[in-house]
Structure 1
Amino acid sequence: MKIEISADKRTLQGKGASRRLRGSGKVPAIIYGGDQEAQSIEMDHNDLYHKLKLEAFHASVLTLAVAGKKEPVLLRDIQMHPYKQQVLHVDFQRVDKNKKIHMKVPLHFINAEVAPGVKTSGGIVSHILTEVDISCLPDDLPEFISVDLAELTAGHTLHLSDLVMPKGVETVALSKGENLPVATIVIPRSVLSEEAGAEGSGAEKK
């Protein structure tokens, strides 16, 4: 998904200027990185707020247009109001398409309903990780990583090394020798109690 967002240059600085900006329906923001100086910008609050609801907005190379000039960026930080539905500030980082980036992307779990540990054993999938830190070139950045649970049995755990990564993408943890657990199947106590009861009844009949 290609996402483009617009912004204007911001000239006034300081807390007072930022408060006035927010009062007019704008959000103060900054672009940094690359071989350019950091640039202060302002964005339409409602447009930004709705785009922040998109999962891809947090894990994609975005096209940011400032006064008509477009450049690729990553969303790096968001400051939200503690109790209002209001974005207070956002940070964007410039992207060099020839340099690898580190980014956290969400995990999408599929085929949980047919996993033997769920379908046969009555277990529940426990998601140990919901996102993963990856390294890749900007053009190779995936919106998410699929985690196939079709073969997962009760008592077994899926690790990072079990994931099928897109071409050109590697997990940061694995590159450091850390094969983190991703998901496992847990058998609820109620199911275990039923099984124990059934076994006990069978033993009594004998």
Structure 2
Amino acid sequence: MVKHSLFQAAFVEGDDRPPSLRKQASLKEDVILRAFPRKNTGKIWCKKERKVGLVPSIVFEQENGHLGGNKELISVEKKQLENIVNKIGQTFFLSRTYDLEIYDKPGGELQKKEKVLPRTIHLHSASDELLNVTFIRAPPSAKLKVGIPLVFIGEDSCPGIRKGGYVNTMKRVVPFVCPADAIPPFLEVDLSTLDVGHKILLRDLKVDPRLQLCHTDSSLPILKIMGTRSMEEAAVPAK
């Protein structure tokens, strides 16, 4: 059985790209998750799954979700999930789709393959152990609400920061309704032209026209370049 390596192109020994660029590259690659059917529920059975290196999970459909959404019980390889979450973080893990391959048993035959979007991930409060993950099916026709992380670029050349200012961040994740085949893993926010006092608003984000902003007020700020007290005092005209 061939095992699929995760982020092989982006996280390889000797890759001299900055960590931020390696992370962004990895987010754009297709990733396959391996899973197996699970018949039983409850704390005892889930604990047994974790002991053998599996994470109890659920896959359901957005449509009729309140009625169960064609719920399917599965278990996903724990080491594989941990590898992803540790490399890109929980926020980025929840903002992209994955190819879910369900096998009849470990080392067995492939039963089916489908696109999924992680909806929730639960960690142990003390140990951060992966306890369970919930996935939603993401066929191309589906429109899904997704919190898209923001990635700030151009800080090194930002005029306001070079003068001694700093970035006051109001939002790091912005919710959109996205077609399942057009979910961006992140949105870049360019700071390279911002001076002290400048803001970037929700409506300034450059997104695929198929994405629909969930906020009703697009004038809400994402960030503002703030000055220090001495800078603000220097900007006040003498009387």
The TM-score, its normalising length taken from structure 2, stands at: 0.74
Residues 1:9 and 2:28 aligned together = no
After TM superposition, give the deviation of residue 136 of structure 1 in Å: 1.9
Between stretches 183-192 and 125-134, larger displacement belongs to: 183-192
Name the counterpart of 1:114: 157
Which of 1 and 2 has greater Rg?
Answer: 1
- 1:141 corresponds to: 183
5+ long unaligned stretches in structure 2: 1-28, 64-68, 104-109
1:163 aligns with 2:205: yes
The answer to whether residue 99 in structure 2 is matched with residue 66 in structure 1 is: no
1:154 matched residue in structure 2? 196
**How many pairs were matched up?**
195
Secondary structure of 1:84's aligned partner: coil
How far apart are the structure 1 equivalents of 2:53 and 2:224?
45
- Aligned partner (choices 49, 71, 89) of residue 132 of structure 2: 89
**How far has the Cα of 1:191 moved from its partner?**
4.6
Q: For residue 51 of structure 2, what is the aligned residue in structure 1?
A: 23
User: SS state of the match for residue 140, structure 2?
Assistant: coil
CA distance 1:114–1:34, change in 2 (3 Å): closer
1:43 and 2:85 are equivalent in the alignment: no
AA in 2 matched with 1:39: E
Show CA shifts across 1:52-108 (max 9, x none).
Answer: 232553211111111221001100011101111310111000113113211011101
What residue in structure 1 maps to residue 85 of structure 2? 52
CA contact 1:140–1:167 (8 Å) conserved in 2: no
Deviation at 1:28, TM superposition (A): 0.7
Q: Following the alignment from structure 2 to structure 1, what is the Cα–Cα distance between the partners of residues 97 and 58?
A: 16
Give the Cα–Cα distance (whole angstroms) in 1 for the partners of residues 232 and 195 of structure 2.
Answer: 15
The answer to whether the 8 Å contact 2:201/2:218 transfers is no
- Give unmatched runs, 5+ long, in structure 1: none
SS in 1 for 2:47: helix
Q: Does 1:180 align with 2:220?
A: yes
Cα drift, residue 31 of structure 1: 0.5
Query: What residue in structure 1 maps to residue 106 of structure 2?
Result: none
| RMSD (Å) for aligned C-alpha atoms | 2.2
- 2:17 paired residue number: none
Does the residue aligned with 2:189 lie in a helix, a strand or coil? strand
Structure 1 residue ranges (4+ consecutive) displaced by more than 4 angstroms after TM superposition: 190-193
Once residues 134 and 42 of structure 1 are traced to their aligned partners in structure 2, the CA distance between those partners, rounded to angstroms, is 29
Q: Which of 121, 129, 132 is the equivalent residue of 2:171?
A: 129
**Alpha-carbon contact 1:22-1:28 (below 8 Å) kept:** yes
For residues 75 and 210 of structure 2, the distance between their equivalents in structure 1, rounded to whole angstroms, comes to 34
TM-superposed CA distance for 1:188, in Å, is 2.1
Q: Please say which of residues 76-85 and 18-27 is displaced more in the overlay.
A: 18-27
Tell me, in whole angstroms, the C-alpha distance in 2 between the residues paired with 1:149 and 1:94.
Answer: 35
User: In percent, how many aligned pairs have the same letter?
Assistant: 28
TM-score (norm 1): 0.85
After superposition, the C-alpha distances for 1:173-201 in whole angstroms (9 at most, x for unaligned) are 1xx234221010111235557x48xx99x
Are 1:79 and 2:112 counterparts?
no
Asked if the contact 1:155/1:185 (under 8 Å) is kept, the reply is yes
Q: Secondary structure at the residue paired with 1:166?
A: coil
Letter in structure 1 aligned against 2:144: I
